């Protein structure tokens, strides 16, 4: 009986070690810092920090966004960690090819965390605001064009999309290159509740806005 107990105890330890190893493996090896920005995000008058790191061991070159918030004792504590918000540089579906986009840029201004990303035919900007312990998506701005030649000219139509997620107002404006003249303007109300949280946000969500 004692031998059986010892064997069961040993097996339990092995299982726990294996689960622990899986947890560590899933964290990745994000060993190369590529972005850093500081500013007050939680409105306490102290500097918070965001960093973006790349896993250079993984062939897809995944990236992780980490947000550190200041505490009353002056120290920074990790509040958000996401590997879903930024597309890997060499996605699996691209079969080892570069995705064609630079790593997104981040800015902190007036308590708003802004993420600027390249997309096909333009760029997209997301604004996140800290509210009730979460960073909620409050605004999206997207600029695209209809060029199929690889370059733009005077006939290219640019479409600017502005989406205020708080009010639900989504506006699309079409203009020709450099004219400043509005060709068309479309408005509609799209209510998304609850507001998307940054930890749940995926890079593929760009197609939703």
Residue 125 maps to a domain: yes
By residue range, what is the domain housing residue 48? 28-208
Q: Is residue 7 part of a domain?
A: no
Q: Cα(65)–Cα(36) distance, rounded to whole angstroms? A: 10
Q: Write out pLDDT tens, residues 45-94.
A: 999 999 999 999 999 999 999 999 999 998 999 999 999 999 999 999 99
Q: Is residue 13 part of a domain?
A: no
94 inside domain: yes
What is the pLDDT at residue 154? 87
The 3-class SS string of 139-208 reads: EEEEEEECCCCCCCCCCCEEEEEEEECCCCEEEEEEEECCCCCEEEEEEEECCCCCCCEHHHCCHHHHHH
> pLDDT over 70 for what percent of the chain?
87
Question: What is the number of structural domains in the chain?
Answer: 1
Is 193 among the domain residues? yes
Residue 21 within any structural domain of the chain: no
Report yes or no on 19 lying in a domain. Answer: no
In-domain check, residue 90: yes
């Amino acid at each position: 009986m004692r031998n059986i107990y010892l064997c069961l105890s040993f097996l339990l330890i092995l299982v726990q070690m294996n689960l622990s190893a899986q947890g560590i493996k899933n964290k990745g090896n994000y060993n190369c810092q590529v972005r850093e920005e500081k500013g007050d995000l939680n409105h306490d008058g102290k500097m918070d920090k965001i960093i973006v790191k790349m896993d250079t061991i993984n062939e897809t070159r995944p990236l992780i966004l980490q947000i550190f918030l200041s505490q009353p004792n002056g120290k920074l504590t990790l509040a958000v960690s996401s590997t879903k918000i930024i597309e890997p540089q060499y996605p699996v579906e691209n079969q080892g090819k570069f995705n064609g986009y630079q790593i997104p840029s981040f800015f902190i201004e007036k308590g708003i965390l802004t993420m600027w990303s390249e997309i096909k035919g333009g760029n997209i900007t997301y604004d996140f605001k800290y509210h009730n312990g979460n960073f909620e998506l409050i605004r999206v701005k997207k600029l695209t064009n209809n060029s199929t030649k690889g370059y733009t000219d005077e006939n290219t139509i640019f479409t600017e999309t502005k989406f205020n997620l708080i009010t639900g107002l989504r506006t699309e404006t079409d203009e020709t290159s450099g004219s400043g003249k509005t060709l068309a303007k479309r408005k509609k109300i799209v209510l998304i509740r609850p507001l998307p949280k940054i930890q749940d946000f995926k890079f593929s969500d760009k197609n939703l806005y």
